[in-house]
Structure 1
Amino acid sequence: MTTHAGRVSTPRHIPAGAPASGDGIVVGTGTVVIDVYVDFLCPFCRQFEETAGPTLHRLVDDGLVSIVYHPMAFLDQLSADHYSSRASAASGCAADGGLFVEYAEALFANQPPEGGPGLTDDELIGIGDLVGLDPPFAGCVRDRTYLDWAAYVTDKAMERGVSGTPTVLVEDVPVPANVRSITQAVAAAR
């Protein structure tokens, strides 16, 4: 992947469920759009998922919102093996298997500490097995099919002004990453 004059080129492969911009995974069909920027190595993102995740999933299930998850590789420098990029890429593989949300939740539940090695590719594949992903998932992770997509998602987020994770936007308006603020913004947008 290359950039030209501040513009990010499209990655070779884009996962199933990506929006037209290609820089995330869309979950749900509701009319109110929530953008959620996360990094699978970010402890605050794990906390966000644990506290806000059930409410976000309910809003999706009720048909009120669509969530565009943007799995960034923001914290690569805080792992010895570019874990953020590899986990983001693996989440793209999970999207192809139709289990992005389940896989993302499992990645947060098995989050390695910052500053050391992340989960190995075999461990990322094992988590996929646990959530029910089919064998093509393992090949996708081993081939690092979506590694350039992870960089693309990150570059597009930074172009958009995202400077930390988690970052939440409701209808393109930044809101604090907590349940109360998000639900109030969704209600106002409806």
Structure 2
Amino acid sequence: MSQKNSEGKRSARERLQEQRRKEESRTKRKRTLIAAVVVVAVLGAGAGIAALVAGGGSDKKKTAGPLVAPQGATGKDTVTIPVGKPDAKSTLTVYEDFRCPGCGQFELGFRDTIRDLEAKGQLKTDYHLVTLIDGNLRGSGSLNAANAAACAQDAGKFAAYHDLLFKNQPQETDDAFGKKSRLIELSGQVPGLDTPAFRKCVEDGTHDSWVKKSHEAFSKSAYHATPTVLLNGKDVYGDQKNPLTPDKLRQMVTANAKG
């Protein structure tokens, strides 16, 4: 082999080695940069989470305590609050969020009919409390209101307080129910509810863990929007082509009561 060819091949090898060194150097710098970005992102996320926890409202209690179901809660995982006579032939199952405007519209349109059918012994209503809006818009109004409603259940006054909360429902973006003082103030409109025991239950968030359990059960169900309304296990509220009306609900429940 001539010296010229040998030098040419050596020169080519040297250029290839130099190119590989440059590629390795670039790769190393890239990995270092990616690692730094990941660290910053993690730290930033942690700071964001901390900010959410710190800024989640003015209430003293920030974390849920032990799971305490309200008195009389029934069903799987005891996340159901029943209203009406247990032997009623029809059962209305309602998934609601106290901050949900659609739930407020449902209550406005159907409340009187539902309560009348319950009073006649024809209908039992199973309520499941959900906290979707807190997750979507942030805040604690869904959680605090649901806990307060569970506290009212302890006092045997769930239905009256439930209806009162929806009658005084704030705008969806207004987390007024995040203020426990507001929830206690409203309780004064339900005779006999504003007691030291109720106030402590609301302020301590006694049923917060139970509310979260109720929401988790809803999240794992086949239903993902509020309000979800079932009559004897059948979804009767979500069909836009055949919308439910108070009269239709009354007719179905009355027919079922007659057998």
SS at match of 1:75: helix
- Mapped partners of 1:42, 1:16: distance in 2: 25
Alignment partner, residue 84 of structure 2:
28
Q: Point out the more displaced range, 104-113 or 140-149.
A: 104-113
For the 8 Å contact 2:89–2:256, the answer to whether it is kept is: no
Which ranges of structure 1 fall in alignment gaps of 5 or more residues? Answer: 1-10
Alignment partner, residue 97 of structure 2:
39
TM-aligned CA distance change 1:76 to 1:174, over 3 Å: same
- Mapped partners of 2:186, 2:235: distance in 1: 32
When Rg is computed on C-alpha atoms for both structures, the one with the higher figure is 2
- Percent of pairs identical after alignment? 32
Deviation at 1:78, TM superposition (A): 4.5
Given the two structures, how large is their TM-score scaled by the length of structure 1? 0.87
Where in structure 1 do 4 or more consecutive aligned residues deviate above 3 Å? 187-190
For the 8 Å contact 1:48–1:178, the answer to whether it is kept is: no
For the 8 Å contact 1:79–1:116, the answer to whether it is kept is: no
Alignment partner, residue 155 of structure 1:
216
SS at match of 1:34: strand
Choose between structure 1 and 2: higher strand proportion: 1
Please give the per-residue CA displacement for 1:56-88, whole angstroms capped at 9, x wherever unaligned. 001100001110011211111344422111111
For the 8 Å contact 2:79–2:213, the answer to whether it is kept is: yes
Deviation at 1:111, TM superposition (A): 1.2
Alignment partner, residue 182 of structure 1:
249
**How many aligned positions are there?**
180
> Does 2:178 align with 1:123?
no
Pick aligned residue for 1:94 from 146, 152, 156: 152
Given the two structures, how large is their TM-score scaled by the length of structure 2? 0.65
Choose between structure 1 and 2: higher helix proportion: 2
Task: Kindly indicate whether structure 1 or structure 2 has the higher relative contact order, using CA contacts under 8 Å at least 6 residues apart.
Answer: 1
SS at match of 2:146: helix
Which ranges of structure 2 fall in alignment gaps of 5 or more residues? Answer: 1-65, 238-243
> Does 2:134 align with 1:108?
no
- Mapped partners of 2:221, 2:248: distance in 1: 21
For the 8 Å contact 2:71–2:153, the answer to whether it is kept is: yes
- Mapped partners of 1:112, 1:77: distance in 2: 17
Alignment partner, residue 60 of structure 2:
none
- Mapped partners of 2:251, 2:222: distance in 1: 23
